[in-house]
Structure 1
Amino acid sequence: MNDKPAAPAFDRHMLEALVCPVTHATLSYDAERQELISHAAGLAFPIRAGIPIMLVDEARQIKADD
């Protein structure tokens, strides 16, 4: 059996407290990719094991039209 425990879910209430570390703009949550998106900065911050990784070095560059 391959019954791995599910990763902890991201608490969407954290979005109220989190802002982009670059622009201080609000973030949006992409549940499918498990990322927090800063459209202002053009960055997507990963969420790993339910924990947002708010480091620019860990962020993925996104296109303006994403």
Structure 2
Amino acid sequence: MLSATCRRLAPALRRLRALSAVAGRFLQVPGARLCSDQSERAEQPHTFHPALLQFLVCPLSKKPLRYEASTNELVNEELGIAYPIIDGIPNMIPQAARTTRQNEKQEEAEQP
């Protein structure tokens, strides 16, 4: 019974794999390669493509963001927060953002 199910699903999986390969060619970032198996995917680094900055804005202030390569974050200078980039994907959830002005506030509180 299980082998019969596998035989029925095999053509659909082949079509899906072919469609995803075609879609992958159109959705590729310049310089990236289409990965067909896990070993190639593990070797390929997941980096943020700076061209996405023209489409991304801070979800809180709706202002443009700056990419900080040293920390791999998108920074909103106005609000003093930084959104992490995980595996090349920006995490734009405000609760996941890190505050960047915490050190400045501590320094101001220490000075008379």
- TM-score, length basis structure 1: 0.84
Q: CA RMSD in A?
A: 1.6
Find runs of 4+ consecutive structure 1 residues off by over 2 angstroms: 4-7
Aligned length: 62
Stretches of structure 1 that go unaligned for 5 or more consecutive residues are none
Stretches of structure 2 that go unaligned for 5 or more consecutive residues are 1-41, 105-112
Percent of residue pairs identical: 34
Answer 1 or 2: higher relative contact order, Cα 8 Å, separation at least 6: 1
| Structure with greater helix share of residues | 2
When Rg is computed on C-alpha atoms for both structures, the one with the higher figure is 2
- Determine whether 1:20 maps to 2:58: yes
- TM-score, length basis structure 2: 0.51
Partners in 2 of 1:6 and 1:60 — Cα distance?
A: 27
Partners in 2 of 1:20 and 1:39 — Cα distance?
A: 10
SS at match of 1:36: strand
| Structure with greater strand share of residues | 1
